[in-house]
């Protein structure tokens, strides 16, 4: 059967999209496309691949444009600068008109060969979300493995939502979830958290995470810390409660010490005037507690500041093969 016939045959079927954020991924794009295309060609559904070029300054732009020229099922969005991984995935979801979408990294750490199994799981379990849980992670440093494991566990304790552990953005979502996601207007999106938050029927899928096929990680330590603290601040008010608790304990300690020293003066069992060290220690300690709590408060005020400005999460410079409107924008304008 020719490609054209196959396409017509598929036209009555469901459509599956693959969303791929790319930041300076010239080393992996060709291979990534080849493997993804090979998998999609074997599916009975209609397919599309949405690449988001997140302000790359290497050959990513040209490589993606030539893919879009050669393959009409390849959509490309070029951002005007680097907005970050989460805004890139958000743009992919906003511009997806498929019934099902798989979010995947460009570096093939999450193998596209698993897509048919994800689709099978989705159909079998009537799931709205199939989230992929990493059983193992090849090619990562001990530091990354340890901090990631710790992060997901702390996040779970701190947050009001229950997140699946050891789960990245690699997952399959259906139209209901895509529509729900497109209604969310917060700017600092922690996507894996929000997809848990929207609810519906979510099922796990266990897999072995592979090493990057080429190139370097685009998540250096600074970006990782920002990602983690953003997730924490957007999904938990626990830091504020902890700050309040800390203040409360400090006040109690202060009252007890004041009573102790007063009684000591009256009954002569305290030698308080000797204590330069104890005064300095408590000034530094309580000064620290105050700065810390003000700092925590400041983090939330910072988020309010960013959210209230309501700037778009990303700006698109150019797009290829994209005819669908930005769904999030539409929903937003309908609302206001
Ligand atoms: N990425 C992005 N913008 C960024 C950083 C990363 O679009 O600012 C993309 C990157 O190209 C990759 C995915 O997000 O497809 C995950 O990044 P990476 O593989 O470097 O992270 P790691 O797997 O090392 O945590
Ligand atoms: Mg990676």
Strands 46-53, 74-79: parallel, antiparallel or unpaired by DSSP? parallel
The pLDDT value recorded for residue 327 is: 59
Q: What's the pTM?
A: 0.81
Q: How confident is the model at residue 185 (pLDDT cuts 50, 70, 90)?
A: confident
pLDDT tops 90 at residue 129: yes
Mean pLDDT, to the nearest integer, of 111-135? 93
Chain centre to alpha carbon of residue 70: 31
Considering only residues 251 and 190, tell me which one the structure prediction assigns the higher pLDDT: 190
- Percent over 90 (pLDDT), the chain: 44
Q: Which atom of ligand 1 is nearest to the CA of 83?
A: 8
Distance 210 CA to ligand 2 centre (A): 9
124-133, 207-216, 269-278, 325-334: which is most confident: 124-133
Instruction: Using the predicted structure, report yes or no on whether residue 198 has a pLDDT greater than 60.
Output: yes
Is 106 touching ligand 1 by the criterion CB < 6 Å?
A: yes
Residue 217 CA, closest ligand 1 atom number: 20
- If one compares 42 and 286, the residue with the highest pLDDT of the two is 42
Q: How far apart are CA 63 and CA 82, in angstroms?
A: 17
For residues 56-70, average pLDDT: 94
**In this structure, are residues 146 and 137 in contact, taking their beta carbons and an 8 Å threshold?**
no
Q: Do you know the residue count of the chain?
A: 336
Per-residue confidence (pLDDT) for residue 26, from 0 to 100: 93
Q: 286 pLDDT band (50/70/90 cuts)?
A: confident
Question: Residue 325 above 80 pLDDT?
Answer: no
**Of 70-74, 82-86, 263-267, 268-272, which gets the smallest average pLDDT?**
268-272
Q: Please say if the pLDDT value at position 5 is more than 80.
A: no
Ligand with the closest atom to the CA of 79 = 1
How confident is the model over 301-319, as pLDDT tens digits?
A: 988 998 899 889 999 999 9
Report the pLDDT value the prediction gives residue 260, as an integer from 0 to 100: 82
Residue 7 has pLDDT above 80, yes or no: no
Question: Cβ(53) to ligand 1 under 6 A?
Answer: no
- Ligand 2 centroid from CA 9, angstroms: 35
Split at pLDDT 50, 70, 90, the class of 157 is confident
* 130/210: higher pLDDT: 130
From the list 279, 300, 303, 101, the residue with the least C-alpha distance to 189 is 303
Mean pLDDT to the nearest integer, 124-128: 94
Question: What's the average model confidence in pLDDT over 155-174?
Answer: 84
The arithmetic mean of pLDDT across residues 329-333, rounded, is 54
Crossing angle of helices 327-335/85-94, nearest 10°? 80
State both tokens at 230: 């953003």
Q: Using DSSP bridges, classify how beta strands 74-79 and 316-320 pair: parallel, antiparallel or unpaired.
A: antiparallel
Which H/E stretch holds residue 22? strand 15-22
Question: What local confidence, expressed as pLDDT, does residue 87 receive?
Answer: 96
């Amino acid at each position: 059967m020719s490609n054209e016939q196959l396409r017509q045959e598929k036209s009555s079927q469901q459509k599956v999209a693959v969303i791929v954020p790319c930041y300076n991924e010239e080393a992996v794009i060709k291979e990534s496309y080849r493997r993804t295309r090979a998998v999609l060609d074997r599916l009975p559904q209609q397919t599309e691949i949405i690449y988001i070029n997140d302000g790359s300054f290497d050959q990513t732009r040209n490589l993606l444009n030539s893919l879009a020229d050669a393959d009409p099922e390849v959509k490309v969005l070029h951002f005007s600068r680097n907005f970050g991984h989460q805004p890139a995935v958000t743009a992919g979801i906003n511009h997806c008109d498929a019934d099902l979408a798989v979010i995947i990294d460009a570096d093939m750490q999450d193998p596209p060969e698993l897509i048919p199994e994800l689709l099978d799981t989705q159909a079998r379990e009537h799931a709205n979300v199939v989230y992929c849980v990493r059983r193992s992670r090849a090619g990562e440093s001990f530091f990354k493995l340890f901090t990631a494991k710790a992060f997901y566990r702390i996040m779970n304790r701190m947050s009001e939502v229950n997140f699946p552990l050891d789960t990245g953005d690699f997952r399959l979502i259906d139209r209901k979830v895509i529509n729900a996601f497109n209604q969310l207007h917060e700017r600092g999106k922690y996507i894996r958290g929000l997809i848990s938050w929207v609810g519906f029927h979510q099922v796990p899928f266990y897999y072995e995470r592979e090493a990057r096929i080429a190139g370097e990680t685009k998540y250096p330590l600074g970006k990782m810390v920002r990602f983690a603290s953003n997730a924490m601040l957007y999904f938990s008010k626990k830091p504020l409660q902890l700050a309040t608790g800390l203040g409360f304990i400090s006040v109690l300690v202060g009252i007890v010490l004041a009573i102790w020293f007063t009684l000591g003066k009256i009954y002569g069992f305290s030698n308080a005037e000797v204590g330069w060290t104890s005064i300095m220690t408590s000034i530094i300690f309580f000064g620290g507690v105050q700065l810390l709590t003000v700092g925590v408060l400041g983090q939330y005020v910072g988020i309010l500041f960013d959210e209230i400005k309501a700037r778009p999460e990303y700006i698109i410079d150019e797009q290829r093969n994209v005819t669908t409107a930005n769904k999030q924008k539409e929903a937003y304008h309908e609302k206001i």
